[in-house]
Amino acid sequence: MSFPDYDQKCNDHKSLLILVKSISGRNSNTQLSSKIFNKLYERIANLDELCIEDAQGMGCQRLIRLRYKRNEYENENNDWGDFQCHRKLLGLITISKYNGNDADLQDVYAEYQNTVDKYSSTLYDSRCLVFEVKEKQDLPNSCPQTNGDNCESNEQLPTSLTSGGDCVNEHLESGNGCENSRQCDDGSDNDVKDLISSLFWVLESKRLDRSYEKLDKIPLLMAPFETKALIGLDTDSKIFKRKCMGRMRKYMGDLSLLAGLPSEALSHYGNSIDTLRSANDWL
């Protein structure tokens, strides 16, 4: 069964879905604290839209919108991906901690691969970010302590691994002192932007793919509860073929909407409605 998402909004229909998940190896020391993970998640989630120049190179930009999930996304909801593209998990960012042990680092990477395999049916691309946490002993002299509140030490988190296996030097400093401030190197933001850009170009290639129009039989895109609906159905009838084409048009409309082309999406939706109406398909 699928699980309702009560946080979902109307605008989410045009947003790419990305999961941000905290992982660890067999050693629990590679697990980031919930406080640090939440700070990282909030920073990533602040990037909820990105302008990307299209392939024509004419200065036209697409506004790509993002939606993030924290730690878990049920595969049952992912099963709706072909029928409702905004519910399909397209991107994955895993976050872990490096404790100086290379063997633990390999365990983290293995867990990252397991997570990728879990969502491999829909993922376009993914990243693995590993941070080395270093606590600073020096507390700011100007930080007052009142009413029993303690000033916490700053933490410096340099990134040491991405999914491509390349080492990068990124630093994120988070502090819960009197100013509650944090500073992050541009590198961590660039990694997320690079992932979003990669998702867009995979999405764009699927939007431009018209090979389905040349197929003798267009596959029927179905909701999960329709899996048994094909039993005893005449798949060679004109009504069935119109149903397949209408749903494929709707799917292309979803891809266009996610790719930042609402006008093209509206055209696909209009054609889909006309075709599905003639096939008596109201789903």
Distance CA 180, CA 151 (A): 10
CA 208 to chain centre: 21
Distance CA 39, CA 7 (A): 20
> What pTM was computed for the model?
0.78
248 vs 110, 218, 235, 238, 253, CA distance in Å? Answer: 37, 8, 16, 15, 9
Grouped pLDDT means (10 residues each) for the chain, 283 residues: 68 92 80 88 93 70 93 85 88 89 87 94 92 59 41 43 38 34 55 94 91 81 78 81 92 94 95 92 81
Task: Identify residue 143 by its one-letter amino acid code.
Answer: C
The residue length of the chain stands at: 283
Contact 146, 159 (CB under 8 A): no
- Which runs of E-coded beta strand occur in 11-88? 15-22, 49-53, 61-70
What does the block give as tokens for 32?
């980031």
**pLDDT per residue over 28-85, tens digit each?**
676 788 898 999 999 999 999 999 987 665 556 899 999 999 998 988 888 888 888 8
Place of tokens 């789903």: 283
CA-closest candidate to residue 65, choices 86, 84, 88, 38: 86
Query: Which CATH architecture fits 10-134+190-203?
Result: 3-Layer(aba) Sandwich (3.40)
Specify the pLDDT at position 173. 35
Alpha helix ranges (H) inside the chain: 34-45, 75-78, 102-118, 186-208, 238-258, 262-278
Place of tokens 């004109």: 238
Specify the pLDDT at position 102. 82
- The number of beta carbons lying within 10 Å of the beta carbon of residue 107 is 18
Specify the pLDDT at position 140. 46
In the chain, CATH 3.40.50 sits at 10-134+190-203
